Structure 1
């Protein structure tokens, strides 16, 4: 039976002679197996290389390289195996047909490498590829057998022939699966697996070849004489072919290994570059965070100081002026308190945009220092440029803004300092601009001020006074209390005195409260100062009690800031207990605005104080914004009318009507009325006529130290009418109608332990 040019037999023919004794050179068989193993290892290594290479051109290159190594190895194994075949007959090979078999091996090997270049394949696809590859290898083998020429005729046993093809397909399938499995991995264990897989693949390839050789039977026809084989050098030729193929395979594997290392280095280099890029981005991000405000994207204080220092060096060397402008949004805290911090942040973004759009160019620097404080740095030729820019910013910020469903208008206060007139360093110019801003806010806000030397002098003085006030409180030195009598119109005598703090300064002499109360409030000293006044007043009241004035009451002013402290009631109780004074003899005076500032918390504290037995008085009534609805809820005893309603009586008819209405209202609320600032007999008679309860002022006496208070009280109580001038009183300077204020510009009735001051 013939098929595809091959002769198949199931039984040997009767005629002819059968070549029975065909053998194989064991050395060449071993060499063939080693070549097959090397080809298998090359395929595994090239498959791994193809799977890891990134560029498509390089993938095609290594695919062809792997195909060439595998094809060369299989073909060389087949060729060496044929050289190992020993038959008792002369045999030679046709070179063209032998080379044609190499082409089939190359096609099958390329199909194998192309299949392995796909990362994921199904089992069916692997079977299809293995079948094609196995058939290609089998074709290579039997085409190579066809090239074998001799006097004998080659017959093949069909079962072994089919078995060889099946073995070829199985070896191909094993090669594909092993290569796919071993394509990813690293380490010594992975390398050992590749070696083991190479031995298995080599065995499969050799098994296919020698199964095919086992299927071969050479039959010499009867009429053909037997020609013995001549001497040959098959061993040397086989070893030479093996060496050449192994060198090619080894070179290819070495090249693959070198390329792998190079690719790893390139990958590491890219990773390093990526890390450097990330570090550069991180550095830029850190620089952004370090020098820019996250909310408004404006430069922050650190970035501003850096640019400021550079600009100063430039202007110092080249000449020119710089203006530093401090901006503070007026009453911004109200936005956060009423609408929340999110709305406040949105408003800051809008305001920052308005400020940025108001500057002239990129040379002008706009920064946010935090909260609602902004700072500008501009180059200029004269002061008017800074003034015009500040006015432009103020005008821009007044544009209505829609926020949280509301339409609002914001204003700003601005302070300006100019280089080189107002300073030569960043710190000095910023400090001076801040002083100018403080002046703007103190002047009613929504304005601008340039720095002047007077501001610096005043700031220096205030700083010095702050330190000296701390020392005075700490050492209990220099502070003293003056007392102004409060006359009871119904009883015709002094029943109360108001404690007024003074400071005997070692350099500036006797200072009125308005010189240091605001400093105490701004620097956290007011609670300590109020407590000192409270203790000293209770102590002096004890002294007056010993002197026989056991019915005398004392009024002490309380700061609005101190009224917010929940421990105030405990401090009052402790001061009364230490001095041994009855609580009903102490009266605490609080201003109208302080009571209304936080009505809920204030009401709780006032009730605690009233529970001690201490009286409560609302001071400076009529100058604040109290509501009758709240006023009737407060546990008050006394209402004190501000002197501003008295000073023009009897000339001001409207003031007379207002005072009369306040007295009627207070009595309706069951409150006693004290009128302060009484200086003339007409004022006294008017108040007496309209049932005022108490009067206080220079008509009776100016504030006096404790040592002078007792004689003054005796003198006042001895008068039949307080407007009767006593010569002794004039001689002592304790008061007279229209007597001048010893502290000009501020009535002593306001000069208590605390004065309401706007605090920046």
Structure 2
């Protein structure tokens, strides 16, 4: 078969001269191999760039450049290898055919780059593409061989010819696989592998060429004479072609590397921009979180303070007025406890909308400070405007609210401070508005109050009392227990003593509990105070046992806050054990309202205390949630009737009927009855007549400290009941109103002094 003057499958002619003295210049062969390797390396780099370029137009440009580099490398390798071929005859090359071989190489290279640009390829696609590319390279080789013009005829050995084509296909398959493998990755090891792959690909291309050259046999026709080349410029031409090709390839590789760095910088810039955008969004989110309440979308305390400072500066410059209004939802905790926190959150959102709708314009600032506390900041020209706004909010709050299927009406307590009358700084105005709110809540809620200087003085005094009370508890100084006898109407003896705390204040003198118990409850000191009273009362009870009062019992008051603590029974047990006192001589006295706070928990806690042997008494009965259903569930021993039912006896028949009914009810429930506040002999006679068990009050004795208690007990225990009903027979100066004269305790100057300063116990 003859193709382009090449005898590919033809047999050698019987006559003719075979040229055996043919060889290749080793230097040019090495140069051709280096060019092939450079073209392969360029193709690998550019294929990598194609896979990382996002623009379709840029991908086309890079594919075309990669095809030129690969085609140039293969064609230059072939041409330099042909120049390295040395034969004893004159040869020259047909330029159009040589150009055609370059075109074939370019087509094969374009096919290779297009194949590499596909995202996914199955193995069959690899085989098809490598076959086409290999045939193209083989076609380029043999077309280039046909461009070599000489007197000799080219004959090709069929086996080596086919082998050269197979090598071209295998080299193409390897090139495609390696190029796709090295499209991704980075680092020094990846680069070294790319160099090694370029050497393998270059070797495959050169192997194909020299396998084809091995298949070549040059035959001179019979009678033709050998002609040596006149001049040999193959080295210069090879170097020129190699330099041009390598420069083009190097430029392409440099462009690919530069584009890679540029793209990396662009990606870095994009990441930086994305990061900056995320940071900006995060900053805005943080600002939203930092300055706005997530539940109501109102500004929070921090945002309010910032706006407040700005508006305060404006008003200071313009000599205007500002009002700060604190709002607290009355009994909001009941909603959370009864309907759940989700319902409480929904209610807060509704209330926030109500408050917002009651403001005048966007200049009014509404904030939620936390929980159920809101604050409004607005400008005004006179104080009446603040009052009108507060009344408008309170009126809107009275409109029924539908919550989880229920219609309810909420109320609010409001405190107001005004700039510049009530303060000139943010902190001062907020604090004063809070004091006014506290006043509104203390005066029955659903009320509004403006700040006044008396509130600040009271707050200052309470703060001072708190600090001094804390020190008194830590240092155990100034606090003392006073005891008021509880008289047994059946035995005519003092049966119990009620422990009542007093505080000898260094500036304010002797303070009764109503002056500092509220401070202790508001500031978390009530537990320590109750514990101190319990331990001191047990110690005093132990002392009384040693002076002949072994049968006396002491009653100790327990606050509502302390009654919720699981540790209380253990503390009672420790106090009794430390003092060495029998439990039945201690009686714990709790108020009715404290018992009804959480009846189930309270009943369990009282049962634990009752199991110790300690008696239990309910104080101030009739002033709270009086309920027989609750009373029968509690392990009580004694019921104490509040003095409010006694003070109008015998003038009030209604009070007499109530007291009589309470005594009958208590005895029905097997409870003993103590009546406090007995101040007249008429009250005493009425209670004894109707079966009351115990009485206490100023008629018998005022509270006295332990050191002055023994004479009082002796006096009361020695007297007969009839004598005790008419003190004027024995003690001149005892008034008919039940007040105790100083002569009653003549010979007991200590108690004489105490009786004159002790405050009434309510």
TM-score by length of 1: 0.86
Structure with the larger RCO, 1 or 2 (CA within 8 Å, 6+ apart): 1
Q: Which residue of 2 aligns with 1:199?
A: 199
Q: Which residue of 1 aligns with 2:665?
A: 665
For the residue of structure 2 that corresponds to 1:720, the secondary structure is: helix
1:730-749 to structure 2, matched below 5 A, reads 731=733, 736-737=736-737, 739=739
Task: Note closer, same or farther for the CA distance 1:198–1:552 as it changes in structure 2 (3 Å cut).
Answer: closer
Query: Cα deviation per residue 1:139-164 (whole Å; 9 max; x = unaligned)?
Result: 22233333333444444444443333
Separation in structure 2 between the aligned mates of residue 473 and residue 335 of structure 1, nearest angstrom: 36
For the residue of structure 1 that corresponds to 2:366, the secondary structure is: strand
Deviation at 1:372, TM superposition (A): 2.9
Separation in structure 2 between the aligned mates of residue 216 and residue 576 of structure 1, nearest angstrom: 121
Q: Which residue of 1 aligns with 2:263?
A: 263
Separation in structure 2 between the aligned mates of residue 120 and residue 82 of structure 1, nearest angstrom: 38
For the residue of structure 2 that corresponds to 1:518, the secondary structure is: helix
Task: Note closer, same or farther for the CA distance 1:141–1:500 as it changes in structure 2 (3 Å cut).
Answer: closer
Task: Note closer, same or farther for the CA distance 1:80–1:584 as it changes in structure 2 (3 Å cut).
Answer: closer
Q: State yes or no: 1:367 paired with 2:334.
A: no
Q: Is the 8 A contact 1:108 1:132 kept in 2?
A: yes
Q: Which residue of 2 aligns with 1:390?
A: 390
1:166-177 to structure 2, matched below 5 A, reads 166-177=166-177
Query: Cα deviation per residue 1:190-209 (whole Å; 9 max; x = unaligned)?
Result: 33333333233223223333
Q: Which residue of 2 aligns with 1:645?
A: 645
Separation in structure 1 between the aligned mates of residue 583 and residue 187 of structure 2, nearest angstrom: 91
Q: Which residue of 2 aligns with 1:724?
A: 726
Task: Note closer, same or farther for the CA distance 1:171–1:719 as it changes in structure 2 (3 Å cut).
Answer: closer
Separation in structure 1 between the aligned mates of residue 222 and residue 544 of structure 2, nearest angstrom: 161
Q: Which residue of 1 aligns with 2:746?
A: none
Q: Is the 8 A contact 1:698 1:737 kept in 2?
A: no
Separation in structure 1 between the aligned mates of residue 189 and residue 549 of structure 2, nearest angstrom: 107
Q: Which residue of 2 aligns with 1:250?
A: 250
1:602-641 to structure 2, matched below 5 A, reads 602-610=602-610, 614-641=614-641
Separation in structure 1 between the aligned mates of residue 571 and residue 123 of structure 2, nearest angstrom: 91
For the residue of structure 1 that corresponds to 2:270, the secondary structure is: helix
Q: State yes or no: 1:333 paired with 2:361.
A: no
Query: Cα deviation per residue 1:374-393 (whole Å; 9 max; x = unaligned)?
Result: 33333333333333433444
1:247-326 to structure 2, matched below 5 A, reads 247-326=247-326
Between 577-586 and 181-190, report the one with greater CA deviation. 577-586
Q: Which residue of 1 aligns with 2:28?
A: 28
Q: Is the 8 A contact 1:593 1:625 kept in 2?
A: yes
Separation in structure 1 between the aligned mates of residue 115 and residue 616 of structure 2, nearest angstrom: 99
For the residue of structure 1 that corresponds to 2:378, the secondary structure is: strand
Between 430-439 and 584-593, report the one with greater CA deviation. 584-593
Deviation at 1:220, TM superposition (A): 4.5
For the residue of structure 1 that corresponds to 2:596, the secondary structure is: helix
For the residue of structure 1 that corresponds to 2:722, the secondary structure is: coil
Q: Which residue of 1 aligns with 2:598?
A: 598
Task: Note closer, same or farther for the CA distance 1:251–1:543 as it changes in structure 2 (3 Å cut).
Answer: closer
Deviation at 1:694, TM superposition (A): 3.8
- What root-mean-square deviation, in Å, do the aligned CA atoms of Structure 1 and Structure 2 show? 3.7
Query: Cα deviation per residue 1:535-566 (whole Å; 9 max; x = unaligned)?
Result: 55566667777887666655443333333445
Between 611-620 and 111-120, report the one with greater CA deviation. 611-620
Q: Which residue of 2 aligns with 1:758?
A: none
Task: Note closer, same or farther for the CA distance 1:724–1:132 as it changes in structure 2 (3 Å cut).
Answer: same
Q: Which residue of 2 aligns with 1:66?
A: 66
Task: Note closer, same or farther for the CA distance 1:175–1:632 as it changes in structure 2 (3 Å cut).
Answer: closer
Deviation at 1:457, TM superposition (A): 1.0
Query: Cα deviation per residue 1:578-599 (whole Å; 9 max; x = unaligned)?
Result: 7777665554432222232333
Q: Is the 8 A contact 2:4 2:146 kept in 1?
A: no
Q: Which residue of 2 aligns with 1:745?
A: none
Q: Which residue of 2 aligns with 1:53?
A: 53
Separation in structure 2 between the aligned mates of residue 301 and residue 628 of structure 1, nearest angstrom: 47
1:461-540 to structure 2, matched below 5 A, reads 461-474=461-474, 477-491=477-491, 496-534=496-534
Structure 2 residue ranges without an equivalent (≥5): 743-756
Query: Cα deviation per residue 1:217-240 (whole Å; 9 max; x = unaligned)?
Result: 444445777666433423322221
Q: State yes or no: 1:96 paired with 2:80.
A: no
Q: Which residue of 2 aligns with 1:234?
A: 234
Q: Is the 8 A contact 2:328 2:413 kept in 1?
A: yes
Between 186-195 and 617-626, report the one with greater CA deviation. 186-195
Task: Note closer, same or farther for the CA distance 1:226–1:544 as it changes in structure 2 (3 Å cut).
Answer: closer
Query: Cα deviation per residue 1:33-71 (whole Å; 9 max; x = unaligned)?
Result: 322222222222222222233332222222111111111
Deviation at 1:701, TM superposition (A): 5.0
Task: Note closer, same or farther for the CA distance 1:672–1:47 as it changes in structure 2 (3 Å cut).
Answer: closer
Separation in structure 1 between the aligned mates of residue 616 and residue 482 of structure 2, nearest angstrom: 20
Between 466-475 and 88-97, report the one with greater CA deviation. 466-475
Task: Note closer, same or farther for the CA distance 1:25–1:444 as it changes in structure 2 (3 Å cut).
Answer: same
Q: State yes or no: 1:210 paired with 2:194.
A: no
For the residue of structure 2 that corresponds to 1:597, the secondary structure is: coil
Q: Is the 8 A contact 2:12 2:155 kept in 1?
A: no
Between 83-92 and 40-49, report the one with greater CA deviation. 83-92
Q: Is the 8 A contact 2:10 2:155 kept in 1?
A: no
Q: Which residue of 2 aligns with 1:143?
A: 143
Deviation at 1:109, TM superposition (A): 0.9
Deviation at 1:395, TM superposition (A): 4.3
Aligned residue-pair number: 746
